[in-house]
A = this chain, B = another copy of it.
Amino acid sequence: MPATGLPHGAVPKLERPGPLRERVYEALLELITTRALRPGQHLVESELAGHLGVSRQPVREALQRLNTEGWVDLRPAQGAFVHEPTEEEADQLLTVRTLLEAEAARLAAASADGAGIAALEELCAKGERAVLDDDVDGAVAANAAFHAEVMRLAGNAVLSELAAQVDRRVRWYYTPVARQRGKQSWIEHRELIAAITTGDEQRATAVMRAHTEHTRRTYHERERS
């Protein structure tokens, strides 16, 4: 290796636009999760293409990826429709999410690590601060970051990737009721950190399971609001 003398991070990494399909994919996913594209809506390739300033091909590829990941339904010879979540499906997703997150918590507890725990505590503090400030977006972001960090500590890439997809969809269903669960959520996070710190796999699993189950309850009780 040649000695360039340049530290890795210092290189500006001159912007690579990256494949168009990726950007289209992310743009569409953003539009779906923000409800700019509503469930059941018919997505016409040429419209999207024109709207995004690209050709139909990248749009097609993005739509197909969204299809395999469950965001849109691709009816043959008819086109793409934004997926309509059902009660049953939301419930099943929450079940799977509970499973994956609980396992991640167990693995994280098993391979406890000082630096990782510090990161968790920082994210937890950030979330608590956001809740006190009534910063909903900040709290949601901190929550996602917290769970992602637990996933990272688990050190299982396959698990992490699956959980990322499931979590994102759960959050999509769940966003409308997200504000209800603010303070209590972070108390539970503190408990989880404690369990991970002491390396108590059983307790970490139990706490995370209770945490996500609690989330499910909140979801199912949302009608009365």
Residues of A within 8 A of B (CB): 18-19, 21, 60-61, 64-65, 68-69, 76, 89, 92-93, 95-96, 99-100, 103, 156-159, 162, 166
**27 A-B pairs, CB-CB below 8 angstroms?**
A18-B76, A19-B76, A61-B61, A61-B64, A64-B64, A64-B65, A65-B65, A65-B68, A68-B68, A89-B157, A92-B156, A92-B158, A92-B159, A93-B158, A95-B103, A95-B158, A95-B159, A96-B156, A96-B158, A96-B159, A96-B162, A99-B99, A99-B100, A99-B103, A158-B166, A162-B162, A162-B166
Q: How far is the CA of A221 from the CA of B92 in the complex (A)?
A: 36
When distances are taken between beta carbons in the complex, the residues of chain B under 8 Å from A96 are 156, 158-159, 162
When distances are taken between beta carbons in the complex, the residues of chain B under 8 Å from A89 are 157-158
When distances are taken between beta carbons in the complex, the residues of chain B under 8 Å from A166 are 158, 162
Q: How far is the CA of A37 from the CA of B18 in the complex (A)?
A: 28
Nearest 3 CB-CB pairings of A with B: A92-B158, A92-B156, A96-B158
Q: Shortest distance in angstroms between A22's beta carbon and chain B's nearest beta carbon?
A: 9
Copies in the complex: 2
When distances are taken between beta carbons in the complex, the residues of chain B under 8 Å from A92 are 156-159
Q: Shortest distance in angstroms between A170's beta carbon and chain B's nearest beta carbon?
A: 10
When distances are taken between beta carbons in the complex, the residues of chain B under 8 Å from A99 are 99-100, 103, 159
Q: How far is the CA of A64 from the CA of B60 in the complex (A)?
A: 11
Whose C-beta in chain B lies nearest to the C-beta of A99?
B103
When distances are taken between beta carbons in the complex, the residues of chain B under 8 Å from A157 are 89, 92
When distances are taken between beta carbons in the complex, the residues of chain B under 8 Å from A64 are 21, 61, 64-65
Partner of A60, one of B18, B61, B93: B61
Q: Shortest distance in angstroms between A77's beta carbon and chain B's nearest beta carbon?
A: 8
Whose C-beta in chain B lies nearest to the C-beta of A21?
B64
Q: Shortest distance in angstroms between A164's beta carbon and chain B's nearest beta carbon?
A: 13
Whose C-beta in chain B lies nearest to the C-beta of A74?
B19
Q: How far is the CA of A18 from the CA of B77 in the complex (A)?
A: 10
Q: How far is the CA of A143 from the CA of B105 in the complex (A)?
A: 31
